[in-house]
Structures are given as C-alpha cells and as structure tokens.
C-alpha cells in the first residue's frame, strides 16, 4: 500500500506515453503528431483523470453524509436520476446545448440523491449492508423508469451510451466541462473539516457547532454536479466512489483533509488504468473503461465485505 501514490503517478505517465505512442502509430499524412495529441490523445487522458478524481471525491462526500463506507453515487440513485434528466431534456429540447443538459442532469441528480438521503433516515444502522441494499433497490427503480421511458420513445441507444462510461468519443471541445470537477475538488478540500464533522452524525456535528443541514445540502450539490458532468460527458462509472475512498482510508486512516488529494489521485489513476487496459486488451478493438473498472471494483467490493464486517461509521 505504501507504493500506491508513486505507482499512480507512474501510471499517469504511462498513460501519457501510451497516448503519444498511439498517436504516432495512428497518425497519417493529414494530421501531425502534435495536432493529434492536442485534439484527441491529451483530452482523452485529461478526461479519464478528471472523471476518476471527481467520482472518487463524490464517493467520500456521500459516505460522510450517511456515515456508511459502502455507498457511493452509483448506489444512491444519483447516476440514474442524472440520466433521467438527460432523457427528459433530450425529449423536450433535442437541440439543447451541453451546458443546459448538464444543468438539468445536475438538478435531477440532486433530487434523486435527496430521495436516497430521505430513505436513509428510516434505515436501521445496526447492519451496514442494509443501506447499500436500499440504495441498490432505489437506483433499480429509477433505472427501470429510465429504461421504460427510453423504450417507449425509441431512445434505448442513448441510454446505453450514458450507462456505459467510455472515452473513445472524447476530443478537444467535448470534454472541457469535466474541468468543473477540479474547482469542486478545491472547494471540498477547503471545507474538509466541515465534512469530517458531517461524518460524525447529526447530533455530534451540531454539538460541535456545525450547521448540519447546510453542510449536507452543499455536499448534495457537489455530488450531483460531479455525477452530472461525468454522465453527460463520458457516461456512468460504477464502484469508483466506493473502492478508492475505502482503499485510501485503510492505508492512511480517516484524516479527511490529508486523504482528499490521495483519493482524487487514486480515482484518477485507476480510471486511467481501466481506460488503458480497455484500449490494449483486445487491440485494435476497445472495451469501455467502465466495464474494466466494474470487474475490478466488484472484486474489491467483495473483499471489503469480507474484510470489514463493521463497515458503518455510525
């Protein structure tokens, strides 16, 4: 575990070198290497890094908000709610800009996450696995509604793209919204102490002077914005927000301010690794990065279940 940080740095450098190598092989006489790098390869690498970092940070916020290590945006209905917003604006305003699509997706993602937080109030905390199961069922209901509407409107292909995160379509001009994640990451770092108190539970947080509802609402906005921008740009990714914070917490403890940069780097490196593996494992064809990460994430999730019978914080 002590080699995680330098390993992720090396992984990012390897991804960059792979991008350069792929560009040099794939470039023809019409495009220079520099042009291909700036238009396609570097945007794709940046998109993978930003998406991974954002989803990992969103997982930290959700876990602090519900005091449970086994939840993430993919297990709270957030991604499904964001896709419902995307589907709605696609039907009502097909010509809407990407900015409007992200805004609507963020609003519906906030509503979906708020619904999960409301349900979480009535879930007994004696068994830490009850809350993830409730989230799984809740997300499944939203997903079923999404699939039914998409089927009735002949938009299943669009929904399939949103549900399976991948970076093959990322080029310059089609990923820049992901830089919003960098700004939100800075906000999270500056407010890390508040989110640490949030993880203590409402009674203890209020006794220490925290405005519990305001902080929780801010976390809800940050999670919804990160999820929406990732879904709109590259699609949904499972397990990133669950796996990375748990690995970092086991390695470094629960100092949230100190862990946030490592969590962001870990999410960035692992999603980049999934993208690299997806590009080379059946070359010249490509597997979606979300598929690669789902296999890895599910294995780590099972390990966490067996290694952490007491995963709840509250």
CATH architecture of the domain with residue range 47-307? Orthogonal Bundle (1.10)
- The distance from CA 110 to its chain's CA centroid, rounded to whole angstroms, is 14
* Listed range (28-37, 40-49, 197-206) with the worst mean pLDDT: 28-37
Instruction: Return d(Cα 242, Cα 227) in angstroms, integer.
Output: 14
Instruction: Return d(Cα 222, Cα 118) in angstroms, integer.
Output: 18
Look at residue 105 and tell me whether its pLDDT is greater than 80: yes
DSSP 38: I
pLDDT in tens, 253-284: 778 888 899 999 999 999 999 888 988 888 78
Look at residue 29 and tell me whether its pLDDT is greater than 50: no
Mean pLDDT (the chain) is 82
pLDDT (average), residues 183-203: 87
* Listed range (22-36, 50-64, 181-195) with the worst mean pLDDT: 22-36
Domain map of the chain by residue range? Answer: 47-307
Q: What integer pLDDT is reported at residue 33 of this predicted model?
A: 58
Look at residue 101 and tell me whether its pLDDT is greater than 80: yes
Look at residue 54 and tell me whether its pLDDT is greater than 90: yes
Which range of 20-24, 221-225, 280-284 scores highest in mean pLDDT? It is 221-225
Q: Which of 114, 102, 51, 106 is nearest to 77 (CA)?
A: 114
Q: What integer pLDDT is reported at residue 39 of this predicted model?
A: 65
Burial (0-12, 13-18, 19+ Cβ within 10 Å), 36: buried
> Would you tell me the crossing angle of helices 42-66 and 240-252 to the nearest 10 degrees?
70
What CA–CA distances, in Å, run from 203 to 127, 198, 206, 212? 20, 10, 5, 9
Give the global pTM: 0.83
Buried b (16+ CB within 10 A) or exposed e, 264-274: bbbbbbbbbbb
């Amino acid at each position: 575990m002590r080699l995680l940080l330098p390993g992720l740095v090396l992984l990012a450098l390897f991804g960059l070198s792979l991008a350069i190598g792929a560009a040099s092989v794939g470039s023809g006489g019409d495009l220079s290497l520099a042009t291909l790098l700036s238009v396609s390869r570097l945007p794709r690498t940046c998109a993978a890094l930003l998406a991974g970092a954002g989803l990992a940070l969103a997982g930290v916020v959700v876990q602090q908000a519900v005091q449970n290590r086994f939840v993430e945006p993919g297990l709270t209905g957030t991604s499904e709610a964001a896709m419902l917003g995307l589907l709605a604006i696609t039907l009502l305003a097909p010509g809407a800009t990407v900015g409007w699509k992200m805004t609507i997706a963020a609003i519906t993602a906030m509503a979906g996450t708020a619904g999960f937080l409301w349900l979480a109030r009535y879930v007994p905390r004696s068994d830490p696995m009850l809350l993830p199961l409730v989230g799984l069922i809740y997300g499944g209901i939203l997903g079923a509604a999404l699939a039914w509407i998409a089927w009735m409107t002949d938009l299943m292909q669009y929904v399939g793209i949103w549900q399976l995160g991948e970076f093959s379509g990322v080029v310059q001009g089609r990923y820049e919204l992901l830089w919003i994640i960098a700004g939100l990451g800075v906000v999270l770092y500056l407010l890390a102490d508040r989110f640490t108190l949030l993880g203590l539970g409402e009674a203890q947080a209020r006794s220490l002077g925290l405005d519990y509802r305001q902080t929780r609402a801010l976390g809800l906005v940050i999670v919804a914005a990160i999820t929406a921008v990732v879904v709109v740009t590259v699609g949904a990714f499972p397990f990133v927000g669950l796996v990375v914070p748990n690995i970092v917490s086991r390695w470094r403890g629960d100092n949230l301010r100190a862990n946030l940069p490592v969590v962001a780097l870990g999410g960035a490196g692992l999603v980049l690794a999934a993208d690299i593996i997806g590009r080379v494992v059946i070359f010249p064809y490509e597997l979606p990065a979300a598929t690669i990460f789902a296999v890895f994430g599910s294995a780590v999730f099972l390990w966490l279940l067996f290694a952490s019978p007491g995963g709840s914080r509250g």
